[in-house]
Homo-oligomer: A and B are copies of this chain.
Amino acid sequence: MGSPSISPPSPRKSVRQRSSRADLFNVLRERIARHEYRPGAKLLEHDLAREFQVSRAQVREAFGALENRGLIQRIPNRGAEVARLDISQMFEIYDVREMLEGLCTRLAVQNTKPESWQSLVTLFGKPMERSVKSGDFEDYIEKLQLLRHRTSEAANNRVLTDMLDSIHDKTRELMRRIIILPGRAADGLQQHRAVLGAMRKGDALLAEKLKRENI
């Protein structure tokens, strides 16, 4: 297996001893989402159990949840590997995502007062433009996350939020790479501003439409 180092530099104290079941799942989810584990990399139950100081059964349970989310693929008697992101599946995801993000935005607007989006409008103003122009993508991405989170919260729809989170895990790294492409972040910012403008005006349908076009 050519994968350089599956286990991070210091496997020892990555998580004290208080790593509950849910934590294990979330750590693995995070590592997969940010491609700390590369697509196709094998995940060994024994190694992970030792790293997190838990029993194999618990690793197994986490694997079940990860498989359910489509983050890993398990083959009987052959183990688990990080799901390879297949291009055609990416297109599939984007069709769904377009719809759900649009819905999320519309619901968010319908559930809140327009004024509540002012802070985000401001945040996406001048300072953000500087970030984009100077190539500070970390800042840009971080603020995008905030927008996402706020919208999701305002939409107040658990089912929707779960689905979007699940999709987000699979596309995070891809999005990151797209944002870095020249001009892409600037375009994106314009679009997000347009969406936020509609939200600020309380125009739910317009916001939904613009959001869909954004994706």
Contact = CB atoms under 8 A, between A and B. Distances in A.
Interface of A: 57, 60-61, 64-65, 68-70, 89, 92-93, 95-96, 99-100, 102-103, 107, 157-160, 162-163, 167
Nearest to A102: B99
Contacts of A167: 159
Given A57-B57, A68-B65, A96 B92 contact: no
- State the number of copies, please: 2
A57 B95 CA distance: 37
Contacts of A64: 61, 64-65, 68
The 10 A-B pairs at the shortest CB distance, nearest first, are namely A68-B68, A92-B157, A99-B99, A64-B64, A92-B159, A99-B103, A96-B160, A93-B159, A96-B159, A61-B64
